[in-house]
């Protein structure tokens, strides 16, 4: 472990003063925080910011994860979810087939369908529209948080419609918010290394800009822990921060810890707990214009999620029944969690659990 030198202490103090005075952190500040091993100070600063923004409230939602197809034209190096058409395990569900699945897992407390999937070029854009319509017709009171910015870009390419036109067609059948996926690391160099052939950096940001301009609130992510540098991560946050300055359309930032391909992968193939907590805390400090930072228990585990609530996170996602993408990549966590367990998780960190809807309207407070 590196010893923090007096010069590092004074640098950390400068950053602490900026945070406490409400000054925006720079690229150099963010990189310094990543290089420091003073996790407790970084976490304490993030906790101060979070308490100032949200008090002791921690949010969760009752949601159900749905995947209409795993057939995908992209071959991202980190993905173990995708399949080729005709490959064993490949599937493309009709609206009726998805309804049958949802009927088996739905209960009246479910408020959101979290819908993502492959970029399947063997079906037309109308298939993706009809998929949402089938769900909305059957479950009119459940919010449709559907598709990533990369999927919207894909729909634009196969339909010939602009991003705005694609979003408008989906909104007509009930789309209420975009998921945050597809961001990975917002660096074209990273995307080339990791064979991310879907939406590039500018396209990802442009889709969210178009959604925000239509009045949609969206989510955004960062998939960290592979070939990117610490500077890449900070630049990612700064690009998201800049768009938020422009549109104020993002609801929450979700750092996603990269999962190894195999569930049997050793601890050396996974991000450290230290790195996961530091990333959540730095996210809170860099993204001064974001209200919510999520600790995604599917990727970092339940107990680390609990600790993250004292280091800047104020959202623990949701019940997430039958999550598949991270688990296909080697996540060791449960595929879902009960409401009671989520509430216990939050209360165990000395926080107040708040059940929310997709747009962070408060449904119920669990004192």
Q: Beta 143-146 vs 112-115: how paired, if at all?
A: parallel
154 is in an annotated binding site: no
Residue 231 marked ligand-binding: no
Q: How far apart are CA 135 and CA 173, in angstroms?
A: 9
How many degrees, rounded to 5, is the angle at CA 251 between CA 362 and CA 210? Answer: 135
Between strands 63-66 and 292-293, the pairing is unpaired
Residue 112 assigned as binding residue: no
Phi, psi for 9 (deg, rounded to 5):
-65, -40
3-class secondary structure per residue, the chain: CCCCCHHHHHHHHHHHHHHHCCCCCCHHHHHHHHHCCCHHHHHHHHHHHHHHHHCCEEEEECEEEECCECECCCCCCCCCCCECCCCCCCCECCHHHHHHHHHHHCCCCCCEEEECCCCCCCCCHHHHHHHHHHHHHHCCCCEEEECCHHHHHHHHHHHCCCHHHHHHHHHHCCEEEECCCCCCCCCHHHHHHCCCCCCCHHHHHHHHHHHHHCCCEEEEEEEECCCCCHHHHHHHHHHHHHHHHHHCCEEEEEEEECCCCCCCCCHHHCCCHHHHHHHHHHHHHHCCCCCEEECCHHHHCHHHHHHHCCCCCCEEEECCECCCHHHHCCCCCCCCCCHHHHHHHHHHCCCEEEEECCCCCEEEEEC
Ligand-binding annotation for 341, yes or no, is no
Residue closest to 198 by CA, chosen among 150, 158, 270, 139: 150
Query: Is 253 one of the annotated binding-site residues?
Result: no
Binding-site members are: 72, 76, 78-79, 184
Positions at the binding site for S-adenosyl-L-methionine: 78, 184
Binding region for [4Fe-4S] cluster:
72, 76, 79
């Amino acid at each position: 472990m590196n010893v923090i030198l007096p010069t590092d202490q004074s640098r950390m103090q400068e950053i602490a003063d900026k945070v406490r005075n409400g000054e925006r952190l720079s690229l150099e500040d963010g990189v310094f925080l990543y290089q420091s091993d003073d996790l407790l100070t970084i976490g304490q600063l993030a906790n101060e910011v979070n308490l100032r923004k949200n008090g002791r409230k921690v949010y969760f939602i009752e949601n159900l994860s749905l995947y209409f197809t795993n057939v995908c034209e992209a071959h991202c190096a980190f993905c173990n979810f995708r399949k080729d058409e005709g490959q064993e395990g490949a599937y493309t569900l009709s609206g009726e087939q998805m309804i049958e699945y949802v009927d088996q897992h739905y209960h009246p407390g479910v408020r959101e369908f979290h819908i993502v999937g492959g970029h399947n070029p063997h079906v037309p854009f109308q298939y993706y529209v009809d998929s949402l319509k089938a769900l909305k017709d059957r479950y009119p009171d459940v919010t449709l948080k559907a598709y990533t910015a990369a999927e919207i870009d894909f729909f634009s390419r196969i339909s010939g419609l602009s991003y705005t036109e694609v979003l408008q067609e989906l909104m007509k059948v009930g789309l209420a918010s975009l998921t945050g996926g597809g961001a990975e690391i917002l660096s074209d160099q990273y995307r080339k290394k990791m064979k991310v052939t879907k939406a590039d950096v500018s396209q990802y940001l442009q889709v969210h800009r178009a959604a925000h301009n239509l009045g949609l609130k969206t989510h955004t992510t960062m998939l960290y822990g592979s070939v990117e540098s610490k500077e890449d991560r900070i630049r990612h946050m700064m690009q998201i921060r800049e768009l938020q300055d422009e549109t104020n359309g993002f609801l929450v930032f979700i750092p996603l810890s990269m999962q190894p391909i195999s569930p049997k992968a050793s601890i050396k193939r996974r991000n450290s707990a230290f790195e996961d907590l530091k990333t959540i805390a730095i996210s809170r400090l860099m993204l001064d214009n974001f209200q919510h930072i999520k600790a995604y228990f599917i990727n970092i585990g339940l107990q680390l999620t609990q600790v993250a609530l004292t280091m800047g996170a104020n959202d623990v996602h949701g019940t997430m029944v039958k999550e598949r993408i991270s688990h296909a990549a080697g996540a060791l966590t449960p595929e879902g969690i009960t409401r009671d367990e989520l509430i216990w998780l939050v209360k165990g960190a000395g926080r107040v659990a708040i059940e929310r809807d997709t747009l962070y309207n408060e449904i119920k407070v669990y004192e």
